[in-house]
């Protein structure tokens, strides 16, 4: 009976031990896949080769509005919390009573509501006014709400370019192009709200134009 029981026990354990090996290999493959995904995220996105220096005014990516609202909302929450904590400290440390306390909290609420509204409305208004253009002369950026500004960066003034991508920008597939120029005024000009492939494409076009201009 003992031999029979041991045989039955071995027969029941064999499928389990046989299944344990594929599970180990599967866990290893999942780890390799996760490492591969993390390495892909660190690489540059594919360049948009169809974009050319055609002198046409382009809008920012529509996702820039959502990204700006999200980042502005996060900043507004931090400001709200800091303002509320500071107000509570002042109220408990002072002899404010009744109407004064209500007035202080009323002012805090109105300012917080105004800031929250601007973080949601402002990006849409800025999106309507923001344009950029790349032509044979250089890069031109037009922006501003009440005060309109138009920045022209000729190729001869460009020193080098960078592309930055913050966490929120990566989430929405956006990038910021930073153009470093010669001179003290506007030594660096940033153009945010670009699709990541287009930002790298403009960077490459600027580098080629600068090298050609230096060669001439």
Tell me, what's the pLDDT at 51?
81
In the predicted model, what is the mean pLDDT of residues 151-159? 89
Ordered DSSP codes for the chain: -HHHHHHHHHHHHHHHHHHHHHHHHHHHHHHHHHHHHHHHHHSPPPP-TT-------BPPPTHHHHHHHHHHHHHHHHHHHHHHHHHHHHHHHS---THHHHHHHHHHHHHHHHHHHHHHHHHHHHHHH-EEEE-SSEEEEEE-SSS-EEEEEEGGGEEEEEEE--HHHHHHTEEEEEEEESSSTT-EEEEEEEEHHHHHHHHHHHHHHHHHHHH-
Q: Residue 89: is its pLDDT beyond 60? A: yes
In this predicted structure, what is the pLDDT of residue 159? 87
The pLDDT confidence band at residue 12, using thresholds 50, 70 and 90, is: very low
Domain ranges across the chain = 63-127, 131-215
pLDDT tens digits, 41-51: 445 667 777 78
**13 vs 81, higher pLDDT:** 81
Residue 185 pLDDT class (50, 70, 90 cuts)? low
How do residues 104-137 score in pLDDT, each as one tens digit? Answer: 889 999 999 999 999 999 999 999 999 999 998 8
Q: What is the mean pLDDT of the chain?
A: 78
Fold of 131-215: PH-domain like (2.30.29)
pLDDT at 64 over 90: yes
């Amino acid at each position: 009976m003992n031999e029979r029981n041991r045989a039955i026990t071995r027969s029941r354990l064999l499928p389990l031990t046989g299944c344990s090996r594929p599970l180990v290999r599967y866990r290893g493959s999942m780890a390799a896949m996760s490492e591969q995904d993390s390495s892909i995220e660190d690489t540059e996105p594919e360049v948009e080769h169809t974009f050319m220096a055609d002198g046409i005014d382009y809008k920012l990516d529509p996702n820039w509005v959502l990204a700006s609202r999200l980042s502005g909302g996060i900043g507004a929450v931090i400001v709200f919390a800091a303002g509320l904590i500071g107000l509570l400290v002042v109220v408990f440390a002072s002899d404010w009573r009744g109407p004064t306390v209500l007035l202080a909290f009323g002012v805090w609420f109105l300012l917080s509501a105004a800031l929250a509204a601007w973080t949601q409305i402002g990006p849409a208004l800025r999106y309507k006014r923001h344009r950029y253009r790349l032509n044979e002369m250089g890069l031109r950026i037009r922006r501003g709400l009440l005060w309109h500004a138009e920045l022209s960066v000729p190729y001869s003034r460009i020193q080098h370019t960078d592309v930055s991508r913050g966490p929120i920008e990566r989430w929405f597939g956006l990038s910021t192009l930073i153009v470093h120029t010669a001179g003290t005024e506007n030594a660096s000009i940033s153009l945010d709200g670009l699709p990541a492939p287009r930002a790298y494409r403009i960077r490459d076009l600027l580098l080629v134009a600068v090298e050609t201009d230096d060669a001439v």
